[in-house]
A and B are shown apart, each in its own frame.
Chain A
Amino acid sequence: MSEIIVVTSGKGGVGKTTTTANLGVGFAARGKKVVLIDTDTGLRNLDLLLGLENRIMYDLIDVTEGRVPYKKALVRHKRHESLYLLPTSQTKDKSAVNSQQMNSLCNELIKDFDYVIIDCPAGIEQGFQTAISAADTAVVVTIPEISAVRDADKIIGELGRAEKDNIKLIVNRIRPDMVKKGDMLTMDDIDEILSIDCIGQIPDDELVVTSTNRGEPVITNPVSSAGKAYKNIVGRLCGENIPFMEIVPEGFFAKVKKIFKM
């Protein structure tokens, strides 16, 4: 059965686009047929992360406004042949697509694809409402900082209001050195506030940045710890029971327990 996943966060710059690209490559590597939809209209960069910038002919708005059928706007990935991108426009703004258009587009796409993954813009304005409207599953990305966790909390509230009840959490950019010193929120601190199912803990990893620059998501890099974390997330989304990698040595949370004013 096909699944529509939206990747969202509230706070900007926490790793939604990075996550979308990596999940896409991860599912495709398992032989799934995947389409990634960039809804961050005006600020598109999912194409960059996938190294597909120079292949774009049409965009999401051309499709929703009926100028071209969606198949014409899809860009196939160079190496992962079952992975496609539906890019967005760099010149329009986020109100150019509405929820109804998004729903009918996704209804078309699930006939052809195993996974539809939607990269959401930051914030809770109309662009967010449109991006989540068709989704079965919402993946909320946060980083271990108070402001990001609070925004994630708001987003989870908004998702609940839109009756999106299947919500998963990814905590990105965890820095073991800082967690050890008690300078960063721990998984327990985050769980206390958000209390939703966590499917991934991704370490902060320079290789994420270098692979972004090369247009090849980090999940394909066997030596990257973030890449491994993304592989595990893909497995968990496929329903596998995969234990969490040890980012911070066990027993540490118990010893260094600092109270954060959330």
Chain B
Amino acid sequence: MSEDVVFKGSRSGLQLIFDETVDFTSILKQLKTKLESAIDFFGKGTIVNVAIDKITKEQETELSILFQRYGLTLKAIDTSLPKVSELKSEEAAVEASKEITIIERTVRGGQEIISNGSVVILGNVNPGAKIIAGGNIDIKGTCRGLVHAGAFGDLTATITADKMLAMQIRIADLIARAPDNLETVDTTECARIKNGNIVIETVNRQEVC
């Protein structure tokens, strides 16, 4: 299916972005499928922002009802004039990232986990799977999917995996791509931001958590 609807982490929170040229009923349908496939994974009460100038009042109501059914809260925000109060300060982002979601299985291709807080995966993150967390991501297994920690701007967020084979790692606004000849390291690795760059270091599990 085409991806006309995406959830994206941004400094002001989780953002719903959709293709405005596509018919709104089709958008709703795709959104529903998406929510259904990710539903066990959204932390309850997760706030999703949508740009107010992109939707009509009726559409806002429809979206609100749909979101409510999945335990999410819709917030229409004016993206053209970002009010300071709307933007989460870095401290606020760090605060939100304290709650922890634990997933006790492998996250397979096509599945998404989205959480305002930190995420712990007791299993692998397979190619084509996606983890977006406001806080840290800790994978007690092999990571081959797309992982985004500190998605709302927390620069102190980390990504840890027993085996880090991700094609791409994101922390806050930074992106690191795997080298083309990826070497497998048999120890736990941890990615964090140091001096404005994402660095990956081997770590001792005991030290991490």
Q: List the 8 shortest-distance A-B pairs measured between CB atoms, nearest first.
A: A157-B108, A153-B109, A154-B110, A154-B109, A153-B108, A157-B111, A153-B126, A150-B109
B166 CB to nearest A CB, Å: 11
Does the CB pair A157–B182 fall under 8 Å? Answer: no
B162 CB to nearest A CB, Å: 13
A193 close to chain B: CB less than 8 A: yes
Consensus secondary structure, chain A interface: helix
Q: Which residues of A contact B118 (CB under 8 A)?
A: none
Does the CB pair B108–A262 fall under 8 Å? Answer: no
User: With the chains together, A110 CA to B37 CA distance in Å?
Assistant: 31
User: With the chains together, A261 CA to B105 CA distance in Å?
Assistant: 22
Task: For chain A, give the interface size range.
Answer: 10 to 19
User: With the chains together, A243 CA to B110 CA distance in Å?
Assistant: 34
Does the CB pair A195–B110 fall under 8 Å? Answer: no
Interface residues of B (CB under 8 A from A): 37, 105-111, 124, 126-128, 142, 144, 165, 167, 182, 184
Consensus secondary structure, chain B interface: loop
Does the CB pair B108–A154 fall under 8 Å? Answer: yes
User: With the chains together, A261 CA to B182 CA distance in Å?
Assistant: 8
A259 close to chain B: CB less than 8 A: yes
Interface residues of A (CB under 8 A from B): 150-151, 153-154, 156-158, 160-161, 192-193, 195, 259, 261-262
Across the interface, A153 reaches (CB within 8 A) one of B37, B127, B184, namely B127
Q: In the complex, given contacts A150-B109, A150-B128, A153-B109, what are 10 additional A-B residue pairs having Cβ atoms less than 8 angstroms apart?
A: A154-B110, A157-B107, A157-B108, A157-B110, A161-B37, A192-B142, A193-B124, A193-B126, A259-B184, A261-B182
User: With the chains together, A259 CA to B109 CA distance in Å?
Assistant: 20
B57 CB to nearest A CB, Å: 33
User: With the chains together, A193 CA to B144 CA distance in Å?
Assistant: 9
Q: Which residue of B lies closest to A146 (CB)?
A: B127
Q: Which residue of A lies closest to B105 (CB)?
A: A160
Does the CB pair A153–B128 fall under 8 Å? Answer: yes
